[in-house]
């Protein structure tokens, strides 16, 4: 019964991410496929497709060969964990790049976020290595293909707490900047972006809380029941945010504006997560009512 519920959780997560993929496939074709390959598009591709890989591997881990062995279980677990961590790292990197762009690449904030991100990655990899060295599998033919014998709740918390801190920091910075933008009368698409971002983050936060409390009460194999949805929520949020940014860039032809002057790899990378409303000239753009947005951007570019 426990195995059945866990498998249903994985299948539900896989169905959700597949449904979202079908809904947004046209956006991917129109906005991403014709663009040059950049770090931003590479992060998007990994973030977009890795959930299919790790969810399929997770399903294989629970519904694999009826005659597994401990080595096969460990190898499959290593592939699954590696795919999950890479997917999460891509999602978090995209969120951080977007936050840096919103704050106009402020040096102190960029250094702080990058340092925090590196600490999260280091701590997560350390926990993953400890988990990989210490855990033991038992292969039960005809029953549960791969059963972890020495699973500890501390592993869950050690993995989730750093990401929870990083997500909270990024969200707080977005709230502050959103308040500033809305106070200065930004266009409706920015309002929609922040509103949608808050809803998505709220869902992610709910799953984070569930991941903290479920291990306290659930049987061992139900303790990770929400982790799949927590992971795919990050993927879906970042994918839709990337589409929204690219759509806005196409609409306002941002590639012909001030951003195109960027020369360094860093600024070109942040460019993928930047829109005209992120520049340091919002006040000039919105002081005069009734003026067309594109003409205001052209005016700023001539300055």
Q: What is the CATH number of the domain that holds 239?
A: 1.20.1070
Q: How confident is the model at residue 210 (pLDDT cuts 50, 70, 90)?
A: confident
Q: Which two tokens stand for residue 185?
A: 């009368």
Q: Which of 122-131, 166-175, 271-280 has the lowest mean pLDDT?
A: 271-280
Rg (Cα) of the chain, in Å, rounded? 22
For 263, counting Cβ atoms within 10 Å of its Cβ (0-12 exposed, 13-18 middle, 19+ buried), the class is exposed
Is there a domain that residue 231 lies in?
A: yes
Query: Does residue 244 or residue 22 have the better pLDDT?
Result: 22
Looking at the structure of the chain, the number of domains it has is 1
Does 271 or 66 have the greater pLDDT score? 271
Q: How far apart (Å, rounded) are the C-alpha atoms in residues 297 and 8?
A: 51
Examine the pLDDT at 47 and tell me if it is beyond 70. yes
Q: How confident is the model at residue 258 (pLDDT cuts 50, 70, 90)?
A: very low
**Per-residue pLDDT reduced to its tens digit, 179-203:** 777 777 666 666 666 665 667 667 7
In a domain, 158, yes or no: yes
Answer yes or no: are the C-beta atoms of 126 and 120 closer than 8 Å: no
Burial environment of residue 81 by CB neighbours within 10 A (0 to 12, 13 to 18, 19 or more): middle
- Give SS3 for 185: coil
Residue 140 pLDDT greater than 60, yes or no: no
Residue partners of 272: CB distance under 8 A and separation at least 6: 38, 39, 40, 41, 97, 242, 245, 246
Please give the angle made by the CA atoms of 218, 220 and 222, to the nearest 5 degrees. 55
38: in domain: yes
pLDDT of 48 over the 90 cut: yes
Residue whose C-alpha is closest to residue 51's, from 22, 84, 15: 84
Residue 277, CA atoms < 13 Å, CB-side half-sphere: 23
What are phi and psi for residue 148, nearest 5 degrees? -80, 125
The per-residue pLDDT for 294 is: 43
% of the chain residues with pLDDT over 70: 63
Assigned domain for 54 exists? yes
Separation of alpha carbons 172 and 175, rounded Å: 5
Average pLDDT for the chain: 74
Q: Is residue 294 part of a domain?
A: no
Q: What percent of the chain has pLDDT over 90?
A: 14
| Type and span of the H or E element at 148 | strand 147-148
pLDDT, residue 259, reads 44
In a domain, residue 208? The reply is yes
Domain of 215, in residue numbers: 2-279
Q: Is residue 286 part of a domain?
A: no
Model pTM score? 0.77
In contact, 301 and 258? CB cutoff 8 Å: yes
Tell me the pLDDT band of 303, cut-offs 50, 70 and 90: very low
pLDDT value at residue 111: 92
Whole-number pLDDT of residue 15:
94
Is 285 a domain residue? no
Lowest-confidence pick of 43-57, 136-150, 171-185, 205-219: 136-150
Burial label, 43 (beta-carbon count in 10 A; 0-12, 13-18, 19+): buried
């Amino acid at each position: 019964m426990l195995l059945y519920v866990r498998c249903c959780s994985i299948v539900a997560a896989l169905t959700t991410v597949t449904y979202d993929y079908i809904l947004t496939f046209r956006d991917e074709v129109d906005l991403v496929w014709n663009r040059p390959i950049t770090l931003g598009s590479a992060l998007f591709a990994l973030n977009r497709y890795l959930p299919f890989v790790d969810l399929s591997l997770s399903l294989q881990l629970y519904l694999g060969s009826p005659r597994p062995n401990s080595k096969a279980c460990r190898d499959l677990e290593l592939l699954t964990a590696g795919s999950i961590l890479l997917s999460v790292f891509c999602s978090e990197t995209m969120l951080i790049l977007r936050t840096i762009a919103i704050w106009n690449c402020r040096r102190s904030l960029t250094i702080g976020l990058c340092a925090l991100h590196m600490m999260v990655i280091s701590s997560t990899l350390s926990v993953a290595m400890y988990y990989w060295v210490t855990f033991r599998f038992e292969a039960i033919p005809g029953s549960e293909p791969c059963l972890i014998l020495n699973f500890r709740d501390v592993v869950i918390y050690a993995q989730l707490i750093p990401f929870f801190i990083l997500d909270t920091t990024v969200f707080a910075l977005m709230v502050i900047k959103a308040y500033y933008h809305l106070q200065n009368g930004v266009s409706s698409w920015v309002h929609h972006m922040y509103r949608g971002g808050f809803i998505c983050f709220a869902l992610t936060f709910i799953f984070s809380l569930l991941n903290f409390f479920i291990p306290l009460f659930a049987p061992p194999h139900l303790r990770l029941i929400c982790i799949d949805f927590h992971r795919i929520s990050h993927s879906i949020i970042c994918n839709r945010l990337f589409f929204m940014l690219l759509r806005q860039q196409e609409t306002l032809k941002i590639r012909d504006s001030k951003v195109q002057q960027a020369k360094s790899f860093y600024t070109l990378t942040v460019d993928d997560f930047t829109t005209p409303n992120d520049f340091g000239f919002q006040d000039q753009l919105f002081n005069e009512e009734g003026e067309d947005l594109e003409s205001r951007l052209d005016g700023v570019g001539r300055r």
